[in-house]
Amino acid sequence: MTAPGVAWPKVPPIPADALSQWRRLAAALIDREPCCSDDPELWFSRRPDEIEAACHRCLSCHAFVACRDYADAAHESLGVWGARDRTAHRSGTRATESDTP
């Protein structure tokens, strides 16, 4: 139920070609919180120092690979996913990238 006068943003559906990666990410998060749960705004910041901090935290997350793979398959375009700034990624630059599996 939505509070009166509150318009929730529309969340796009998960792309069909990213569904298996989404399920893998969801499985990685069963009974465990993702690294972004303690400070979610950090993952959508436009400040370079905060983007770098979010990318750094991703690298130690248990769901890092599944998160990165989902974001790649879904063409996520906002925020940090799998240690990559997806907003910058669209323009061809990356704040931080790791080839760590």
Domain of 84 in residue numbering reads as 17-90
Task: Give the pLDDT score at 88.
Answer: 56
Find the range with the poorest average confidence among 51-55, 80-84, 94-98.
Answer: 94-98
Q: Is residue 77 part of a domain?
A: yes
As a whole number, mean pLDDT of residues 72-94 equals 79
Q: Is residue 99 part of a domain?
A: no
Q: Is residue 97 part of a domain?
A: no
The single-letter code of the amino acid at 17 is D
**pLDDT tier, 8 (very low <50, low <70, confident <90, very high otherwise):** low
**pTM score:** 0.73
Q: Is residue 1 part of a domain?
A: no
Task: Give the pLDDT score at 99.
Answer: 38
Q: Is residue 81 part of a domain?
A: yes
Give the count of domains, the chain: 1
Q: Is residue 32 part of a domain?
A: yes
The residues, any chain, with a CB within 8 Å of residue 62's CB and separated by 6 or more, are: 28, 32
Is the pLDDT assigned to residue 98 strictly greater than 60?
no
Q: Is residue 82 part of a domain?
A: yes
Is the pLDDT assigned to residue 44 strictly greater than 50?
yes
Q: What is the mean pLDDT of the chain?
A: 82
Whole-angstrom Cα distance, residue 19 to residue 63?
16
Q: Is residue 4 part of a domain?
A: no
